[in-house]
Structure 1
């Protein structure tokens, strides 16, 4: 698939991820699990909404190490347990946009807690390395922690000194606001008090000259805390994004965006990277939007849309016979577009065919509930909002399971009818849909030669 005005040769040409004129947005997020129906769709929608090129994922709970492409166009690289019949625990991954995928040089799976990627930049002799990590919690055994940080040190040592290194992920480390002894790798804008994991994380950053971005930029506490307890009383800064000190000025900002929602107790942490601190105004383009016409399948939405368009078209009666064709066309177009925006809304993302419009509405309602939790000022209001948000999470899961069950039942019924009618082609196509189409496993690390 190529973009408008883009040839096939240009569409397959490698791209550069970093430049001196454009900013690159990357983030890290503990999504709690990707081993759940429609979870990948929700994460991809949030990634597009926040215009991220790279999104690191923690606790994916996927097994094996593979590369696959989502139905929405993004590419996901993930690393988990490689043993047979291994549990669906831990796991890390990196979600790439179409542009970032074309800039990818290679990637390497380092186990269920580490994954590394290498990308091209605008400057030919400088590449971008991204390491996504998921460290053990503070209550784990010391041997487990030492094994993780030893593996992390080996991965960092493989990066050339002249390249840009981004280390990010959920390290379960509170580095705190006191930077005594670590003035070169952290600022005074951290959150809380440093714990044992924070000491280990600060030491490895000091050893490799990595600046902890979340402690450098001054923000409100709500834009620093990356994790919140289930009772909404405790907030900690345990997710981090770091950059090597040589390219410290290339990191323009690091902050938390609490509006992103995938039913996780962690918030989305985003960093903006640019090789030069030069502002450039974005180019305004007149985009052609598509609308959620799937909502018209519901009788209530269809009736609401008909009433909205009918009310808009009443304006045409006031134009009179002296109006020109251009005026009539502008009024007609405005009536249609306004009705579509108010009732249907703009379609943000391609989704699986079996997801109903009701489920999509429930996902949007769940996001609004989380926004109410973030905006609550009193403890009672936050508790009430959290209760409604938890209820919305359960409703989304129930609706997704119902849609998937209905979809599978319809496919099975179609396969049975095709077999009875002797339609072998239709039977095979339906069987493929039921079995699922999986991409063959690829070698995680590619040879640059």
Structure 2
């Protein structure tokens, strides 16, 4: 994460038992939410030491969902929370955005599946935009999962952002070659946000 200069990263299938926060030897912060023994699932959030003082609060919901809030200001618009939903949804969205331009762009890849329909409906309900569909990258920079055989590629991991802040999202693409020991690619979203620091009480 430090090598790639990542400020905040969502982690799926983390497999750490229970919930809590850990400070790494490099002073970065890792938040995690999992089941009691860490045998499966589990999610986490990596927070860079550069912005961890901006962490306002966080909550472990389950071994598949957690939330975190950061104190921030936008470069242009300075009011309201920016809701970001990210993770492995097993959701293929595809490029067809007819009647859905408020939810997605035309640059998704693949053929929409049931999980894709559910994600689209969720984004419609909560006024979110699917970031990986609004930037015209080559497919090789959109794929987030490759089958063990290497013959099948899908875009199933997504970063979604509040529709109101869509233009603060500057780019979404995979980071090919990042060593994350997974059959998923690291998906990176670039935002135009400046974080304010706050004092956290124990």
- Same fold by TM-score, threshold 0.5 exceeded? yes
- Where does 1:334-345 land on structure 2 (aligned, <5 Å)? none
Which structure shows the bigger proportion of residues in helix conformation?
1
Moved over 6 A (4+): none
In the aligned structure 2, how far is the partner of 1:106 from the partner of 1:87?
A: 23
For 2:43, the equivalent position in structure 1 comes to 92
Could you tell me which of 213, 228, 235 is aligned with 2:153?
Answer: 235
- 1:50 matched to 2:1? The reply is no
**Distance apart, 1:72 and its partner CA:** 2.2
**Distance apart, 1:60 and its partner CA:** 0.5
Could you tell me which of 55, 63, 71 is aligned with 1:120?
Answer: 71
Secondary structure of the structure 1 residue equivalent to 2:188? strand
Q: How many residues matched?
A: 194
For 2:27, the equivalent position in structure 1 comes to 73
**Distance apart, 1:180 and its partner CA:** 2.3
Instruction: Report which structure shows greater RCO (CA 8 Å, sep ≥6).
Output: 2
In the aligned structure 2, how far is the partner of 1:249 from the partner of 1:223?
A: 20
Give the conservation status (yes or no) of the 8 Å contact 1:59–1:91. Answer: yes
**Distance apart, 1:238 and its partner CA:** 0.2
In the aligned structure 2, how far is the partner of 1:209 from the partner of 1:262?
A: 31
TM-score (norm 2): 0.91
- Where does 1:423-442 land on structure 2 (aligned, <5 Å)? none
In the aligned structure 1, how far is the partner of 2:47 from the partner of 2:183?
A: 23
**Distance apart, 1:191 and its partner CA:** 0.7
For 1:298, the equivalent position in structure 2 comes to none
**Distance apart, 1:59 and its partner CA:** 0.1
Structure 2 spans left out of the alignment, 5+ residues: 195-199
Give the conservation status (yes or no) of the 8 Å contact 2:141–2:173. Answer: yes
Deviations 1:55-94 (A, max 9, x none): 1100001111101111122110000014xxx451000000
Give the conservation status (yes or no) of the 8 Å contact 2:33–2:62. Answer: yes
TM-score (norm 1): 0.42
Which structure shows the bigger proportion of residues in strand conformation?
2
In the aligned structure 2, how far is the partner of 1:220 from the partner of 1:248?
A: 21
For 1:187, the equivalent position in structure 2 comes to 105
